[in-house]
Chains A and B, each alone.
Chain A
Amino acid sequence: MTRLNRRQFIQIGGAAAGGLAAGVGLSTKWYGLDPDEVADPGTDGDRVVPSFCEMCFWKCGILAHVKNGRVTKITGNPAHPLSRGHLCPRGTGGIGLLYDPDRLKRPLIRRNRGQMQEFEEVSWDAALDLVAEKMLKIREKYGPEAMALYSHGYGGSWFKHLLHAYGSDNIAAPSYAQCRGPREVAFHLTFGRMVGSPENTDMENSRVITLIGSHLGENMHNTQVQDFTRAIERGAGLIVVDPRYSTAAGKARYWLPIKPGTDLALLLAWMNVIIGEGLYDHDYVEKYAFGFDRLKEHVRDRTPEWAFTRTSIPPETIVETARFMAGGRPASLIHPGRHTTWYGDDTQRLRAIAILNALLGSWGRKGGLTLPSKVKLPKYPYTKYPGQSKNPPDMPKGTVYPLANEILSQGLCMASIPGTAAYDLKAWLVYGTNLIASLPDPDATRKALQALDFVAVVDVLPTEITGWADVVLPEATYLERCDEVHTPAYKEPFLAVRQPVVEPMYDSKPGWWIAKELAHRVGLDDYFPWKDSVEYAMYRVKHGGFDCEELKRTGVARGKHVPVFIDDGLEPVFDTPSGKIELYSQTLEKAGFDPMPEYTPPDEPPDGHFRLLYGRSPVHSFSRTTNNRFLCQVVSTNEVWVNAQAAREMGLRNGDMVRLINQDGVVSEPLALKATQRIRPDCVYMVHGFGHNSRLLKFAYKRGASDSRLMTRYKVDPIMGGTGMNVNFVRVEKAA
């Protein structure tokens, strides 16, 4: 065959196939009597309802297709700034949650049957009456603050409102002290403003993106990944610092397989190079930063050679990457990350990330970090909350985390063990939070649960936490209810509504209804004056000057565009003591902490042990989606990544079933071993969220292994109380 160039090749190929198709196909077409039809699978909806997603907490705009009363598919709402017509796998998987056969169907009350306890299905009245009775009793006996609320998810707003009205402000979510907390504190200390969710990054315009342990792509926040890949498409260079060759590392110009726990040394060395070589943004630092000279002095001896002995990253790589990231400034972003509770010194690590961003002049700059704004909607006019007289008891006696700016969930958990804190918590209301899987040291959580007078759980699925409840209230899914209006801070301000797509299945009820009914039963009707959540939401929308009918039709409305970059004429405001970017933090100094980040070496793994690292699958949200049969078609279990060489030395092969045993002798469920070149030999990695032991999660039960169970230890961040969880060590044994 003669050589053709590729363009011609296609055309000729096409023509040839056309001829062939005619020649071969005619014989069966019977001249039109036996046609080949293009079958339509018929999944386009008779109705298409715009709403926003709750499969994770990013809240992308969705279009739910409904045909004959069933949701057939969920696609991205092109008008919504967070989805732009695209969805992550979980967004599509909403149908797997809605039609999960294991859903909680009717209210349940714990009953004693001789030696055994079991749940009895009851009416809503019976269940709500019991919760209300307990709430009243607890308020009378111990005061309202003895009742705490754990809430994660957008539907939790109704219960937060209820609890505030009831008189308790003890409301926490693991998303703070087990996740984003250190980042928010560190950025607030540095820039006087938190990162928030969605993160205020402007990755799509970045020229260089540096990820410190962030596994974007595996951590699948839709808009963020869209911006990330857009940046790659536009030729942005990536520096990925991760002990594991993550998906993001696979796209990086530089992969730095750092020794776990030593990121701060690398960050200081980068500052050393960037300041030492004068690569920082002089004007920006001059104009906006406070304490540069002290920082310069502070990092003077933090040389790449110094960092090499700690991080195992060669000095020349550190210098090269420092120059590379500085070459992209100000469109050079050191990503703040999201799940940042790793080693207990996390606020300082995040401070270093914030400082590095400041040196590159990326805060408030295109391709760096934005200064977003939100659509302001008037609040619904309620009676003022009574307010709580006592401080939250989330810091056990003798401890103080002076810079925590939210309530610590593990602290509230501890306060439930009598005598631990300033006062005891006596009852929990748990909304959408599987505390057994999300708090470290699950034994402590169980101990707290045992000590409580009363636990009520509102959830969609029979997760582990529901097994500890006295009353279980089955909530309708996000596709069956209307929630609070979504008005996040974002570079394009917008508001979005969650609308019920179908009627609640079984005997489940939307959260607003449950909260309103409870309020009615404890005499708080004043706080729930609206008929339903639609009336509530539309009040806010209408009084915010938006068209309710239009919004119901489109699901989303844009606010006025305001500049979010300094380059666009926005004058930045830094809510810090100096009114500037605090390279040197006066707040930390005053509180008795290092005002500039200092490296602390991590503990070494005991002999024969690996550091246990964990992360996410793009298909799952924590432990919430691992029972979702639709999603589990593509990822149904987790595996443990072990360096291939290390595995061989242990006599283990790829695919072997193994168990992990941690430093305290806790043994994991069996899971498959992934022997791979993609991880350092001193650590192992697994995806979080598997290994359920709730039998009622019929699909997820005993599928994969739980990393949470192996986290018997955690290191608390002295600055803000976050729980560093990458401090557990495991050995790997072949499962019998």
Chain B
Amino acid sequence: MNESLIEVVQGRNNPMIDPSLHIWGWEIPVYLFLGGVVAGMLVLSAALALRDRDGPRSKALQTAPLLALGLLSVGMAALFLDLEHKAYVWRFYLAFKAASPMSWGSWILLLVYPAGIMMGFGMLDSDRRAALLDSRFVRGLHLRSLVMCILGRADAARRGALWAGIIAGSALGLYTGILLGTMVSMPLWNTAVLGPLFLTSGVSTGAAVLLLLPLSTGERHVVARWDMAAIFVEIVLIVVMLIGFATGGHASHVAFSQLVDGPSASAFWALVVVAGLAAPFTLEAIEVRRSLKPLALTPILVLIGGLSLRWILVIAGQASSWANIP
């Protein structure tokens, strides 16, 4: 750059676009976060179930898939609240657009529910099944025979249901990252790292939710190790992403500066990198090595980090938009 200065008069001034793009508020990061959590919970609980074929399973783990579906519904509610033309929400399901991650997502969401139910029902022990069949919900809506039928199918294809959960969960986790990653308009999002980063973060936050449940000690150990691995991968991915931005073209520099000295930079480093990744990684490492009684703080930090990651990337990503680069 030489000494010349640039003065820009931008006459557009459209709401939500100018002076800095901000079309997506709290709803989208909350949804992306919950989507990731749900993906992680499904994948991890299915993996645990596959791993301990006959071993004892904690009651907490048995209900995890159904809990995940509950969280997903909260996320979808947030997504719905974000729609500006709500009466036309059904339009998502009159089309499948191969090039649109959002279209993939809307169909994936539909697939996550049956997969989650199949795998969740399959993981229930007989006590829980009885309780389910006896619940006011099932009785009140006369769903008993339907639930019996699903339980039968789930048992018949237990491993299949678990794999379906893993596939649906992975799809969910990946697409939330790809959704942002395909936006060529946002230098901060437009990186191939974002999909894997969101998936890994999903695994980690999903693990964190599991760790907050009363898992058995064995399960806890496995989940904690996976979480550590996920956090480690996340750190690597973030480093890769930052190097990519730092060494890229003009747009990448815009993205880089968002994370280094933009308005969200300090939050990114404090909440995502330190509180959300470094701190829980260290804590978990100490817990595992010293076999200490696990702290609830560790998974909570992971969750804060995961939510912050989405939140900051959604806000800072919009701020990096080409739309505001003259």
A and B touch in the complex (CB under 8 A): yes
B7 pairs with A24, CB closer than 8 A:
no
Give Cα A676–Cα B8 distance, bound, in whole angstroms: 10
Q: Which residues of B contact A23 (CB under 8 A)?
A: 98
Closest to B7 in A: A676
Q: Does B141 contact A (CB under 8 A)?
A: no
A27 pairs with B5, CB closer than 8 A:
no
Q: Does B326 contact A (CB under 8 A)?
A: no
Stretch touching chain A among B75-83, B89-97, B122-130, B282-290: B89-97
Using a CB-CB cutoff of 8 Å, which residues 6-43 of chain A contact chain B?
A: 20, 23-24, 27-28, 30, 34
- Please encode chain A, from 623 to 649, with 1 for each CB lying within 8 Å of some chain B CB and 0 for all others: 000000000001000000000100000
- Please encode chain B, from 249 to 262, with 1 for each CB lying within 8 Å of some chain A CB and 0 for all others: 00000000000000
Q: Which residues of B contact A678 (CB under 8 A)?
A: 7
Using a CB-CB cutoff of 8 Å, which residues 134-177 of chain A contact chain B?
A: none
B94 pairs with A634, CB closer than 8 A:
no
Whole-angstrom distance from the CB of A675 to the nearest CB of chain B?
Answer: 9
Closest to A634 in B: B11
Q: Which residues of A contact B5 (CB under 8 A)?
A: 644, 677
Q: Which residues of A contact B97 (CB under 8 A)?
A: 24, 27-28
Q: Which residues of B contact A27 (CB under 8 A)?
A: 95-98
Q: Does B99 contact A (CB under 8 A)?
A: yes
Main secondary structure of the interface of A (DSSP, over half): helix
Q: Which residues of B contact A28 (CB under 8 A)?
A: 94-95, 97
- Please encode chain B, from 1 to 37, with 1 for each CB lying within 8 Å of some chain A CB and 0 for all others: 0000101000100000000000000000000000000
Closest to A675 in B: B7
B94 pairs with A677, CB closer than 8 A:
no
B99 pairs with A34, CB closer than 8 A:
no
Closest to A635 in B: B11
A24 pairs with B94, CB closer than 8 A:
no
Give Cα A30–Cα B5 distance, bound, in whole angstroms: 53
Whole-angstrom distance from the CB of B119 to the nearest CB of chain A?
Answer: 30
Q: Which residues of B contact A644 (CB under 8 A)?
A: 5
Q: Which range contains the number of A residues in contact with the other chain?
A: 10 to 19
Q: Which residues of A contact B99 (CB under 8 A)?
A: 20, 24
Whole-angstrom distance from the CB of A218 to the nearest CB of chain B?
Answer: 13
A34 pairs with B98, CB closer than 8 A:
no
Top 10 nearest A-B pairs by Cβ distance? Answer: A28-B95, A24-B99, A27-B96, A27-B95, A676-B7, A24-B97, A677-B5, A27-B97, A24-B98, A634-B11
- Please encode chain B, from 94 to 115, with 1 for each CB lying within 8 Å of some chain A CB and 0 for all others: 1111110000000000000000
Give Cα A20–Cα B96 distance, bound, in whole angstroms: 15
Which residues of B pack against A, CB within 8 Å?
5, 7, 11, 94-99
Closest to A654 in B: B7
Q: Which residues of A contact B98 (CB under 8 A)?
A: 23-24, 27
Give Cα A712–Cα B11 distance, bound, in whole angstroms: 34
Using a CB-CB cutoff of 8 Å, which residues 194-229 of chain A contact chain B?
A: none
Closest to B98 in A: A24
Q: Which residues of A contact B96 (CB under 8 A)?
A: 27
Whole-angstrom distance from the CB of B28 to the nearest CB of chain A?
Answer: 24
Give Cα A644–Cα B6 distance, bound, in whole angstroms: 12
Whole-angstrom distance from the CB of A140 to the nearest CB of chain B?
Answer: 57
Closest to B9 in A: A674
Closest to A29 in B: B95
Give Cα A24–Cα B96 distance, bound, in whole angstroms: 9
Whole-angstrom distance from the CB of A34 to the nearest CB of chain B?
Answer: 7
Whole-angstrom distance from the CB of A50 to the nearest CB of chain B?
Answer: 31
Central interface residue in B7, B94, B97, B99, by most chain A CB within 10 Å: B7
Whole-angstrom distance from the CB of B99 to the nearest CB of chain A?
Answer: 5
Whole-angstrom distance from the CB of B88 to the nearest CB of chain A?
Answer: 13
Task: List 20 A-B residue pairs with CB atoms under 8 Å apart, sorted by A's residue number.
Answer: A20-B99, A23-B98, A24-B97, A24-B98, A24-B99, A27-B95, A27-B96, A27-B97, A27-B98, A28-B94, A28-B95, A28-B97, A30-B94, A34-B94, A634-B11, A644-B5, A676-B7, A677-B5, A677-B7, A678-B7
Beyond A24-B97, A28-B97, A676-B7, list 4 extra A-B contacts (CB 8 Å): A20-B99, A24-B99, A27-B97, A644-B5
Q: Which residues of A contact B95 (CB under 8 A)?
A: 27-28
Closest to B4 in A: A677
Closest to B6 in A: A677
Give Cα A304–Cα B138 distance, bound, in whole angstroms: 99
Using a CB-CB cutoff of 8 Å, which residues 663-680 of chain A contact chain B?
A: 676-678
Give Cα A30–Cα B97 distance, bound, in whole angstroms: 13
Whole-angstrom distance from the CB of A269 to the nearest CB of chain B?
Answer: 31
Whole-angstrom distance from the CB of B294 to the nearest CB of chain A?
Answer: 49
Q: Which residues of B contact A30 (CB under 8 A)?
A: 94
Give Cα A239–Cα B99 distance, bound, in whole angstroms: 53
Give Cα A27–Cα B96 distance, bound, in whole angstroms: 6
Give Cα A677–Cα B3 distance, bound, in whole angstroms: 13
Using a CB-CB cutoff of 8 Å, which residues 517-546 of chain A contact chain B?
A: none
Q: Which residues of B contact A634 (CB under 8 A)?
A: 11
Give Cα A543–Cα B5 distance, bound, in whole angstroms: 63
Q: Which residues of A contact B11 (CB under 8 A)?
A: 634
Closest to A676 in B: B7
Give Cα A676–Cα B99 distance, bound, in whole angstroms: 45
Whole-angstrom distance from the CB of A112 to the nearest CB of chain B?
Answer: 46
Give Cα A24–Cα B100 distance, bound, in whole angstroms: 9
Whole-angstrom distance from the CB of A709 to the nearest CB of chain B?
Answer: 26
Closest to A677 in B: B5
Give Cα A678–Cα B5 distance, bound, in whole angstroms: 11
Using a CB-CB cutoff of 8 Å, which residues 596-645 of chain A contact chain B?
A: 634, 644
Give Cα A146–Cα B237 distance, bound, in whole angstroms: 87
Give Cα A146–Cα B89 distance, bound, in whole angstroms: 73
Central interface residue in B5, B94, B95, B97, by most chain A CB within 10 Å: B95
Closest to B96 in A: A27
Q: Which residues of B contact A34 (CB under 8 A)?
A: 94
Q: Which residues of A contact B94 (CB under 8 A)?
A: 28, 30, 34
Give Cα A264–Cα B11 distance, bound, in whole angstroms: 37
Whole-angstrom distance from the CB of A185 to the nearest CB of chain B?
Answer: 38
Give Cα A700–Cα B95 distance, bound, in whole angstroms: 48
Whole-angstrom distance from the CB of A640 to the nearest CB of chain B?
Answer: 15
Give Cα A24–Cα B97 distance, bound, in whole angstroms: 6
Give Cα A677–Cα B6 distance, bound, in whole angstroms: 9
Whole-angstrom distance from the CB of B153 to the nearest CB of chain A?
Answer: 30
Q: Which residues of B contact A20 (CB under 8 A)?
A: 99
Give Cα A27–Cα B93 distance, bound, in whole angstroms: 11
Central interface residue in A24, A30, A634, A644, by most chain B CB within 10 Å: A24
Give Cα A24–Cα B5 distance, bound, in whole angstroms: 43
Closest to B95 in A: A28
Give Cα A30–Cα B91 distance, bound, in whole angstroms: 13
Whole-angstrom distance from the CB of B103 to the nearest CB of chain A?
Answer: 9
Give Cα A677–Cα B9 distance, bound, in whole angstroms: 13
Give Cα A28–Cα B96 distance, bound, in whole angstroms: 7
Whole-angstrom distance from the CB of A263 to the nearest CB of chain B?
Answer: 26
Closest to A633 in B: B13
Give Cα A634–Cα B99 distance, bound, in whole angstroms: 37
- Please encode chain A, from 456 to 475, with 1 for each CB lying within 8 Å of some chain B CB and 0 for all others: 00000000000000000000
Closest to A644 in B: B5
- Please encode chain A, from 45 to 77, with 1 for each CB lying within 8 Å of some chain B CB and 0 for all others: 000000000000000000000000000000000
Give Cα A677–Cα B5 distance, bound, in whole angstroms: 9
Whole-angstrom distance from the CB of A26 to the nearest CB of chain B?
Answer: 10
Whole-angstrom distance from the CB of B5 to the nearest CB of chain A?
Answer: 6
Q: Which residues of B contact A677 (CB under 8 A)?
A: 5, 7
Give Cα A20–Cα B99 distance, bound, in whole angstroms: 10
Give Cα A412–Cα B96 distance, bound, in whole angstroms: 76
Closest to A30 in B: B94
Whole-angstrom distance from the CB of A671 to the nearest CB of chain B?
Answer: 16
Whole-angstrom distance from the CB of B149 to the nearest CB of chain A?
Answer: 33
Give Cα A27–Cα B92 distance, bound, in whole angstroms: 12
Closest to B91 in A: A28
Give Cα A28–Cα B92 distance, bound, in whole angstroms: 10
Closest to B5 in A: A677
Whole-angstrom distance from the CB of B91 to the nearest CB of chain A?
Answer: 9
Whole-angstrom distance from the CB of A93 to the nearest CB of chain B?
Answer: 16
Whole-angstrom distance from the CB of A653 to the nearest CB of chain B?
Answer: 13
Give Cα A34–Cα B94 distance, bound, in whole angstroms: 10
